[in-house]
Amino acid sequence: MPPRLAALALLLLSTATCFADGGAGPVFNVTDFGAVADGRTDNSKAFLRAWMKACATPGRPAVVVPGGSYLLHPLVFRGPCRGYMEMHVGGVLRAPPGLGAFRDCREWVYFAGVDGLLVTGGGTFDGRGATAWPLNECTKKRDCRFLPVSIKLGHVRNATLTGVTSVDSKSFHVTVAGSQDVRIHGVRLRAPRDSPNTDGVHIQGSSNVRVTDSAVATGDDCVSIGSGTSDVVVSGVSCGPGHGISVGSLGRNPGEEDVRRLRVANCTISGTTNGVRIKTWRGGSRPTAVSGLVFQDIVMSRVRNPIIIDQEYCPYASCREQRPSAVRISDVKFINIRGVSATQVAVKLSCSEASPCSRLELRDIDLRYVKRGVDTQSQCAHVAGGVAGGKLVPPSCM
C-alpha cells in the first residue's frame, strides 16, 4: 500500500476505535493516558492529559474512566473547551487520605470555567473523609479553614451532574459556585450523620440550578443555598440524616448578595435536625434580601425543627454578636407540609427585630408531635405580616 494510503487507513482505523457506541463523540479513555486502577497510584496527571485532549476536541468528546479504583490527587478540569464535554466515571475515584496532598486546594475534583458539561457514568467519588474529619475546626469556631469539597462546579454553564454517588466527602459533597444553568439529577450523596460540614449540595453565586430526584444522607445540610443565588429548584430530594434543606447561613461575610426565587417541592425529610430552614447570623451591615421562596409538598418524618426561620443562627456554644441580623426576609410560602415533628415547636419563625419578616404564608400545614396526645406549637418573633390558611396544625402564630 502506498505510504499515504496506509497513513489514511491507520487514521480511519484509529478514529473508528475512538468512537463510543451510539454515535456519541470521540472517547478519551484515561487508561490510554496511563491511569492505573490499583487504588494506590496517583492518576491525576493521566486524567488531566485525557481531559486536555478531549477539551481541545470539538463536538461531544468524552473522558472515560472505566471500572476500578483510581487514586486521584486534587485536580482542576479547566475550560473553556471546544466542544460539549462529557465525563463518564464508571469506577471509583478515591481522594488521598488526610489533608497532606491538598496544600492550598479547597476542592478535590474541580470543574472550572466549562461551558457545556455532563458528568455521569454510575461511578463513585470517595472523599475518604474519615481521615480528615478530626482535623475540622469549623464546627467549633468561626475563623477556620474549610476542608476540601469533593466535587466543585465553579464558573460553569450548562452543566449536568447525574447518575453518580459521592461518599464521605471531607467537607461538602458538591459545591456549585458562580455558575448558570446547572442540573443535578439522580445523584446519591452519603456520609455519616455525625460527619462535620458534609453538606450535600451547596449552591452560591449561581442562577438557574435544579437539584432533582436525588438522595442525600449526610452530616450537615442536605441542600444549602448561599449568598447571591437565584432561580433554584429542589425537587424530589430525600433528605436524612442531615440538617435539612437550608437557605443560609447568611449575614456573616462581607459582600454577600440577595437570595431570590427558590422552590423546594416534592421532598421527604427524615430524622433530621431541621426540615426547611432559613438561617442568618446576628449582625452584618449589608441589608441583603431573601425573597420569593416557596416550600411546598414536603413530608417530614421525626424532624426536630420542621419549619424554621432562625435569624439568630449560632452553631457554637455562644456567639458574641448582639446586633440583630441585617438580612430582610420577605415573600416566603410554606404550603402543604405534613408529617411528624420530633419536638413540640413544629413551626418557629424567629425573625430579626431590625428587619422583621414580611409577606410570609402558611397554608395546609399538618405537623404532629411524635408523642401522641401532645399538641405541636408554633412560635413567632418579629413577623411583620403574613397570611395563614387551610388546615393549620399547629395553629399559626402570625
Positions marked catalytic: 243
Q: Residue 36 or 354: which CB sits closer to ligand NAG?
A: 36
- The rounded distance, in Å, linking the Cα atoms of 353 and 331 is 17
Q: 126-155 mask for ligand NAG (x: CB under 6 A)? A: ------------------------------
Q: Is 26 in the site for ligand NAG (CB under 6 A)?
A: no
Q: Is 354 in the site for ligand NAG (CB under 6 A)?
A: no
Interaction with ligand NAG in 256-285: which residues (CB under 6 A)? 263, 265-266
**Cis bond upstream, residue 396 (ω within 30):** no
Q: Is 116 in the site for ligand NAG (CB under 6 A)?
A: yes
Q: Cα(first)–Cα(last) distance of the chain, in Å? A: 87
Computed from CA positions of residues 178, 230, 259, 147, in that sequence, does the dihedral angle turn out positive or negative? negative
Q: Is 64 in the site for ligand NAG (CB under 6 A)?
A: yes
- The rounded distance, in Å, linking the Cα atoms of 102 and 109 is 11
Q: 293-332 mask for ligand NAG (x: CB under 6 A)? A: ----x-----------------------------------
- The rounded distance, in Å, linking the Cα atoms of 108 and 73 is 7
CB of 346 to ligand NAG, least distance (A): 22
- The rounded distance, in Å, linking the Cα atoms of 122 and 29 is 16
- The rounded distance, in Å, linking the Cα atoms of 114 and 77 is 8
Task: Name the segment binding ligand NAG (CB under 6 A); options: 26-34, 139-147, 317-325, 384-392.
Answer: 26-34
Checking phi first, is residue 340 left (phi over 0); if not, alpha (psi -120 to 50) or beta? beta
Q: Residue 119 or 349: which CB sits closer to ligand NAG?
A: 119
Q: Is 162 in the site for ligand NAG (CB under 6 A)?
A: no
Residue count of the chain: 398
**Cis bond upstream, residue 356 (ω within 30):** no
Q: Residue 91 or 284: which CB sits closer to ligand NAG?
A: 91
Q: Is 335 in the site for ligand NAG (CB under 6 A)?
A: no
Q: Is 20 in the site for ligand NAG (CB under 6 A)?
A: yes
Q: Which residue in 298, 256, 257, 258 sits closest to 277, CA to CA?
A: 298
Q: Which of 26, 76, 78, 84 binds ligand NAG (CB under 6 A)?
A: 84
Q: Are 123 and 93 in contact (CB under 8 A)?
A: yes
Q: Is 336 in the site for ligand NAG (CB under 6 A)?
A: no
* Number of Cβ within a 10 Å radius of residue 77: 24
- The rounded distance, in Å, linking the Cα atoms of 226 and 179 is 13
CA dihedral (155, 282, 244, 273) in degrees, to 10, reads 150
Q: Is 69 in the site for ligand NAG (CB under 6 A)?
A: no
Q: 200-239 mask for ligand NAG (x: CB under 6 A)? A: ---------------------------------x-x----
Q: Which of 82, 106, 181, 321 binds ligand NAG (CB under 6 A)?
A: 181
Binding site for ligand NAG (CB under 6 A): 20, 27, 29, 31, 64, 66, 84, 116, 158, 181, 233, 235, 263, 265-266, 297
